Structure 1
Amino acid sequence: MSVVVVTDSSACMPSGLVEQYGIEVVPLHVLVGEHDYRDGIDDIDLDSGPVTTSGAPPEALRAAYGAALDRSDGDGVLAVHISRQLSGTWDAARVAAEEFGGKVRLVDSQSAGMGVGFPVLAAARAAVEGAGLGSVYRHAVEAATHTSSFFVVDRLDHLRRGGRIGAAAALLGTALAMKPVLHILDGRLALKEKTRTSTKALARLTEIAVSQVEQEPVSVAVHHLHAQIRAEDLVRRLRERIPKIEEIFVTEFSAVLGAHVGPGAVGIALASHPADTAR
């Protein structure tokens, strides 16, 4: 067989990629009122009550790792998860992995969305080509190193309620009307720039993405929550401005991320491919 790759639902990966590469996706949890829902599995209405989120518990991760190890015929499991700074999933994953005697290796993506998904994809592609567990691990780590994520939210209320505003906390109170450009820095959500309108925020989001990749080949993901038109506009702008896009994906934020970014949010994840690490 070959190494099997596991991730969690924060990766927001297109279902076609999950099926193509046999990736195991462990659901994170969204709590709406008194109901506990599995992200990506259950139908979730984020507007039906107070919303909080929680990571995958050790028992769910243990079951997923065990099933993946069986599928690999003992070749091993590579698990790439949401940043440990954003979720308790990493700590649960460490507990779960300890039971498999080194056959399950973990990678902290230090990101969310396709900032998780691109390292997962790099690992899965290496696994399909027959790479061993150590090599698959290195592909994931390398991809995580060359992946960056940027977001624009319509309102900061959701981030404030979820406690995920991180280093952007200075915006709260006096700047809720602003449209900040946020990014994930050292695994935490942080302020990149302040803008005053949605139009300016999307323009800056594009400019930042363009400057980030320079002339390197790049894979791109555009995320959104109930903002398909904005997402399509971003795709058009990026295609016009970035000459070496190798692939581009458009996906909705999963419910567990949507609970924090809120309706109207859009994001970009960029995975650059330097010449010496090109796929």
Structure 2
Amino acid sequence: MGNVGVVTDSAGDLSLGQLMEHDIRVVPLKVRFSDKEYVDVVELDASSFWELMKHSSDLPQTSAPSIGEFEAAFREMAEGGKESIICITLSQDLSATYQSAVAAAKNVASLIEVDVIDSRFVSLAEGYLALKAAELAANNRSLPEIHSHIMELIPNISVFGTLDTLENLKKGGRIGAAQALLGSLLSFKPVIEVKDGAVLPESRQRTRSKALDYLLSKISESESYSWIGVMQAEAPETESFVEKVRQRTKMSDVFVTTIGPIIGTHAGIRTLGLTLVRNIH
């Protein structure tokens, strides 16, 4: 265990067990169903969230951690012996989480150095960066070394996903109503990309199977990948899709995770996504 502490939020779609295993401190977002609020990861895991979603007619609301919650985590890690902290958050274009972490870092500046990095991503791309930071910290790398490596990785990551519906993104204000209506009327299966911190439309496919084939085609056969992750939201094709990813990449070790409340609220059930990390050297 190194002297650099690693903190992230709960939008990276890592389970509580995975976070604990890698000594990553999570400062969770919150999700509210009607009048009931849950602390993500801690009080509501991914499978429980999807059960609630099946019986909820309204879209739940998500909220960022407070400055005080980040500050408490930073202070506790300092008191526990950490000499510095790297904190990786989801894109500041999609949530106020990054701003909360930055403000908290300033509040504890006299106690401990906290380096807050906007991952520019959501879901497993953010989770991967937290895992990589934890790996480097466990190997006693310094804060500047970890920062440099994470910043080098970010432009070499691509995230794509196919959604079963645009309805959640429309309700959550992440896309315009006109785009959602057009996709619905024409029965398109949208493919999105997370790029430069934003969720962008990447393609529209006529059927679910064509959307999944298109998603696979984003794995370039001319590229070399160091890590690949699959994110799924109760998608029935997950097992067969992962096998096709293995066949296409010749990589047996594909990281698979269930999309949790923060991303799942907006992406919706049956979403299936890819996180691709290209080899840097």
TM-score by length of 1: 0.90
Aligned to 1:233: 240
1:24 aligns with 2:25: yes
Deviation at 1:170, TM superposition (A): 5.5
Q: Tell me, yes or no, if the aligned pair for 1:75 and 1:132 is still in contact at 8 Å.
A: no
Aligned to 1:107: 117
1:136 aligns with 2:146: yes
* Alignment coverage as a number of residue pairs: 268
Residues 200-239 of structure 1 aligned to structure 2 (within 5 Å): 200-208=210-218, 210-211=219-220, 214-227=222-235, 229-239=236-246
* Amino acid corresponding to residue 122 of structure 2 in structure 1: A
Unaligned runs of 5+ in 2: none
1:261 aligns with 2:267: yes
Higher mean C-alpha displacement, 117-126 vs 14-23:
14-23
Q: Tell me, yes or no, if the aligned pair for 1:222 and 1:235 is still in contact at 8 Å.
A: yes
Distance 1:154 1:77 in 2: 38
Aligned to 2:63: 54
Distance 2:168 2:99 in 1: 24
Distance 2:154 2:16 in 1: 21
1:273 aligns with 2:261: no
Match of 1:156 among 156, 166, 185: 166
CA RMSD after TM alignment:
1.8
Higher mean C-alpha displacement, 92-101 vs 183-192:
92-101
Q: Tell me, yes or no, if the aligned pair for 2:188 and 2:207 is still in contact at 8 Å.
A: yes
Question: Share of identical aligned residues, percent?
Answer: 28
1:70 aligns with 2:70: no
Deviation at 1:215, TM superposition (A): 3.4
Moved over 3 A (4+): 14-17
Q: Deviations for 1:23-60, whole angstroms, at most 9, x for unmatched residues?
A: 01111111111222111122342333531111111111
Distance 1:130 1:156 in 2: 44
Q: Partner of 1:172: helix, strand, or coil?
A: helix
Higher mean C-alpha displacement, 47-56 vs 28-37:
47-56
1:145 and 1:17, CA in 2 relative to 1: closer, same or farther beyond 3 A?
farther
Q: Partner of 2:254: helix, strand, or coil?
A: strand
Distance 2:79 2:252 in 1: 33
Residues 240-255 of structure 1 aligned to structure 2 (within 5 Å): 240-243=247-250, 245=251, 247-255=253-261
Aligned to 2:106: 98
* Amino acid corresponding to residue 40 of structure 1 in structure 2: V
Aligned to 2:188: 178
Deviation at 1:20, TM superposition (A): 2.8
Match of 1:191 among 196, 201, 207: 201
Q: Deviations for 1:202-237, whole angstroms, at most 9, x for unmatched residues?
A: 0000001x12x733132111111111x322122111
Distance 2:241 2:9 in 1: 26
Q: Tell me, yes or no, if the aligned pair for 1:159 and 1:260 is still in contact at 8 Å.
A: yes
Distance 1:37 1:85 in 2: 23
* Amino acid corresponding to residue 243 of structure 2 in structure 1: R
Deviation at 1:165, TM superposition (A): 2.6
* Amino acid corresponding to residue 217 of structure 2 in structure 1: E
Q: Partner of 1:69: helix, strand, or coil?
A: helix
Q: Tell me, yes or no, if the aligned pair for 1:76 and 1:133 is still in contact at 8 Å.
A: yes
* Amino acid corresponding to residue 80 of structure 1 in structure 2: I
Distance 2:265 2:64 in 1: 13
1:34 and 1:17, CA in 2 relative to 1: closer, same or farther beyond 3 A?
closer
Deviation at 1:114, TM superposition (A): 1.1
1:219 and 1:116, CA in 2 relative to 1: closer, same or farther beyond 3 A?
same
Distance 2:126 2:99 in 1: 16
Higher mean C-alpha displacement, 248-257 vs 199-208:
248-257
Unaligned runs of 5+ in 1: none
